[in-house]
């Protein structure tokens, strides 16, 4: 992404030049709106960060292929952290995969093309030498043509849009949704980094199985275990060991890590999928807000869809915390357990949020596991700081399962944790919380058990 400008005959037009190296995307785009911050990843992106701290587009060479289609060769000049001159060449040919070369001192440090990528310094092949760059006036005209194409695409997509400037209330709604979208994208990026990749889990599982099969080979205080191809059945491998631990403890440590990684996938993947769906819906809504003039009621309905309402004056009194007795000011449905304690259940996403926020850090929290939707359940931890009685634990878990998508089966996994182990990050929608630590219990109940719990339904408090 580069800042760019050109003179259109009357005024200087400022904007951003976006260059994509993905074969399924448009190679060049010029836009006057500031794009969403880019988050490139992968080996080539890391090499570019390493060898090109900052740079500028120095020129563009345009030739044609056998089909009379334009081939672009873009030159980006800059310097690395050691002040060495570095050049990046981008070759974009409609008939071939796009090619990236990172060049310094006449040697190619990295080159990505159809036959793969290499990172060993090699002489620059003649095939990637850049032809004579077009003059600055030509580059300005090229930017102007990109802008015209971009405007034509916008006109085609909004041919049915109503004319005129967007009203103030619609622009305000657009800006609020844009801020929500930015926050959700940041949240998604953070969550995706926390979810372990399946290939990493598989690799660690393979290592653990090999260590288990060859545990008898490990000598005391060994730093590593070397296995050749005959022992592994594939490639030779070196397994690092902690010399202060026994062989069995080294193996157990790997299985514990595998379990944590699998747990991160089970808990994080549904949240990632939900965020991706919300981002997609929000992008579609923003597109409609930017292109069509809507009535105030239509805009208000769109805001309501994403739980964005007009701000009201906040209450000066803080919410009263949940006590053991059901006389405390709370939200939700309240049940009396067989042990005498109250069990609080949120009946909706908004009510569950209010219930959890009103609870104390040492209170007990329950929710259906596996990414399913359901009400949040809270039990006071004032009397039970170490653990809950078995009957109270089971009854609260039954209610978490019953007030969820899986109530019809009368069995399933339920998360159990302390309130301080779950957090509500900025941008998370109602009902969605980040779980830092939780235990999972399996619950299977009978209609009679559920009926006995409902027999002491204390109603609601608002």
Tokens 């090699």 — which residue?
Answer: 122
Residue 103 belongs to a domain with what CATH number? Answer: 2.30.310
Q: Is residue 384 part of a domain?
A: yes
Instruction: List, for residues 145-197, the tens digit of each pLDDT value.
Output: 665 544 444 444 444 444 446 788 888 888 888 888 888 888 888 888 777 77
Confidence of residue 366 (pLDDT cuts 50, 70, 90): very high
Q: Is residue 405 part of a domain?
A: yes
Q: Is residue 346 part of a domain?
A: yes
Q: Is residue 241 part of a domain?
A: yes
The per-residue pLDDT for 416 is 93
Instruction: List, for residues 200-240, the tens digit of each pLDDT value.
Output: 888 888 889 998 988 888 888 888 988 888 888 888 888 88
Confidence of residue 394 (pLDDT cuts 50, 70, 90): very high
Last residue in a domain, options 89, 105, 139: 139
The per-residue pLDDT for 156 is 45
Instruction: List, for residues 312-329, the tens digit of each pLDDT value.
Output: 334 433 445 555 444 444
The per-residue pLDDT for 93 is 66
Residues 273 and 339 in one domain: no
Residues 109 and 55 in one domain: yes
> Is residue 421's pLDDT more than 80?
yes
> Is residue 385's pLDDT more than 70?
yes
> Is residue 45's pLDDT more than 70?
no
What pTM value is reported for the model?
A: 0.35
> Is residue 310's pLDDT more than 90?
no
- In the DSSP assignment, the letter for residue 404 is B
Flag the least confident range among 233-247, 317-331, 375-389.
317-331
Domain total of the chain: 3
Residues 289 and 411 in one domain: no
Instruction: List, for residues 397-408, the tens digit of each pLDDT value.
Output: 999 999 998 888
- Average pLDDT, stretch 70-76? 73
Q: Which of 28, 34, 124 is nearest to 71 (CA)?
A: 28
Residues 408 and 284 in one domain: no
Task: Report which of residues 386 and 23 the model is more confident about.
Answer: 386
Q: Is residue 157 part of a domain?
A: no
Residues 262 and 339 in one domain: no
Confidence of residue 69 (pLDDT cuts 50, 70, 90): low
C-alpha dist (Å) from residue 411 to 322, 362, 368, 392, 398: 28, 27, 10, 17, 9
Q: Which of 404, 388, 392, 410 is nearest to 456 (CA)?
A: 392
Residues 20 and 134 in one domain: yes
Residues 301 and 386 in one domain: no
> Is residue 17's pLDDT more than 50?
yes
The per-residue pLDDT for 345 is 93
Q: Is residue 445 part of a domain?
A: yes
Asked whether the beta carbons of 74 and 90 are under 8 A apart, the reply is yes
Residues 278 and 368 in one domain: no
Residues 37 and 128 in one domain: yes
C-alpha dist (Å) from residue 214 to 180, 202, 247, 249, 266: 53, 18, 10, 14, 30
The per-residue pLDDT for 314 is 40
The per-residue pLDDT for 363 is 92
Residues 288 and 395 in one domain: no
The per-residue pLDDT for 163 is 43
> Is residue 377's pLDDT more than 90?
yes
Q: Is residue 323 part of a domain?
A: no
Residues 360 and 275 in one domain: no
Q: Is residue 172 part of a domain?
A: no
C-alpha dist (Å) from residue 31 to 26, 149, 267, 427: 13, 10, 38, 27
Residues 301 and 344 in one domain: no
Domain range for 230: 198-305
């Amino acid at each position: 992404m580069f800042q760019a400008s050109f003179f259109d005959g009357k005024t200087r037009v400022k904007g951003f030049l976006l260059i994509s190296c993905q074969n399924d995307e448009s190679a060049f785009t010029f836009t006057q709106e500031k794009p969403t911050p880019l988050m490139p990843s992968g080996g080539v992106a890391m090499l570019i960060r390493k060898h090109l701290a900052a740079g500028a587009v120095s020129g563009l060479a345009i030739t044609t292929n056998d089909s009379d289609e334009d081939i672009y060769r873009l030159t980006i000049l800059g310097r690395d952290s050691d002040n060495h001159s570095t050049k990046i060449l981008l070759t974009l040919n409609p008939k071939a995969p796009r090619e990236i070369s990172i060049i310094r001192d006449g040697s190619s440090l990295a080159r990505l093309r159809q036959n793969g990528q290499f990172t060993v310094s090699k002489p620059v092949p003649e095939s990637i030498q850049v032809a004579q760059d077009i003059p600055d006036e030509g580059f300005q005209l090229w930017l102007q043509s990109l802008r015209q194409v971009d405007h034509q695409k916008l006109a085609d997509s909004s041919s049915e849009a109503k004319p005129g400037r967007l009203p103030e209330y619609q622009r305000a709604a657009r800006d609020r949704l844009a801020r929500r979208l930015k926050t959700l994208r940041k949240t998604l990026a953070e969550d995706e980094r926390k979810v372990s990749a399946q290939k990493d889990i598989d690799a660690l599982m393979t290592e653990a199985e090999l260590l288990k099969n060859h545990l008898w080979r490990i000598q005391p205080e060994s730093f590593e275990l070397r296995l050749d191809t005959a022992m592994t059945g594939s490639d030779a491998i070196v397994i690092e060991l902690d010399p202060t631990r026994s062989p069995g403890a080294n193996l157990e440590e790997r299985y514990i890590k595998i379990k944590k990684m699998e747990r991160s996938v089970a808990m994080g993947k549904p949240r990632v999928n939900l965020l991706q769906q919300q981002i997609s819906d929000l992008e579609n809504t923003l597109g409609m807000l930017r292109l069509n003039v809507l009535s105030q009621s239509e805009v208000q309905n769109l805001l309501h869809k994403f739980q964005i309402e007009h701000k009201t004056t906040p209450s000066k009194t803080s919410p009263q915390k949940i006590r053991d007795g059901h006389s405390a000011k709370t939200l939700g449905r309240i049940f009396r357990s067989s042990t005498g304690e109250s069990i609080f259940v949120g009946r909706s996403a908004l009510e569950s949020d209010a219930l959890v926020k009103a609870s104390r850090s040492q209170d007990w929290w329950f929710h259906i596991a596996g990414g399913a939707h359901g009400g949040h359940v809270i039990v006071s931890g004032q009397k039970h700081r170490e653990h809950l009685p078995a009957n109270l634990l089971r009854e609260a878990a039954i209610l978490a399962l019953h007030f969820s998508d899986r109530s019809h089966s009368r069995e399933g996994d339920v998360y159990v944790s302390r309130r301080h182990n779950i957090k509500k990050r900025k941008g998370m929608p109602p009902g969605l919380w980040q779980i830092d630590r939780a235990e999972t219990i399996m619950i299977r109940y009978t209609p009679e058990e559920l009926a006995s719990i409902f027999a002491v339904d204390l109603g609601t408090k608002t």
